[in-house]
Amino acid sequence: MLGIQRILRVSWTAKCINQWVLEKVGVSRCLLKAIKKRKLIYFGHNMRKHDSLEKDIIIGTLPGKWARGRPKTSWINNITAWTGITLNVTLRKTEERSEWRAVIWSAVNPQIEKD
């Protein structure tokens, strides 16, 4: 944000908010979009590993008892909801980086806006 303020020649003592600076430049920031992208990139990175603890934790293949009550939202639930594909297809697509990048792009930049 500081770099944009310098480009606009806004003094550091000026009382302007970040939203004003972003509107002046014509840029919008979407926190959920950034979180989705980073989470999907990290998911693909972990799924390409062989015999890793992180992969077992995310997929949920570790032995143990389930906790009582409502099931917690898991990484897999988020990934399948955002991408719209099943777990098996997702795991196959993570092996090929170019395919996984296309999945990430389509999940982060949906063509049809939801109402």
The token pair that represents 11 in the structure block: 């003094």
Q: Tell me the mean pLDDT in the region 5-33.
A: 84
Name the residue ranges covered by the structural domains of the chain: 31-64+71-108
b/e per residue 36-45 (b: at least 16 CB within 10 A): bbebbeebbe
Predicted local confidence at residue 5, as pLDDT: 83
Task: State pLDDT tens for residues 29-60.
Answer: 788 899 999 999 999 999 998 888 888 888 87
Q: What's the gap between Cα 63 and its chain centre? A: 28
Q: How many CA atoms lie within 13 A of 26 on its CB side?
A: 0
Would the pTM of this model clear 0.85, i.e. be above it?
no
Residue-averaged pLDDT of the chain: 86
Judged against a pLDDT cut of 60, whether residue 114 lies above it is answered with no
75, 58 Cβ separation under 8 angstroms: yes
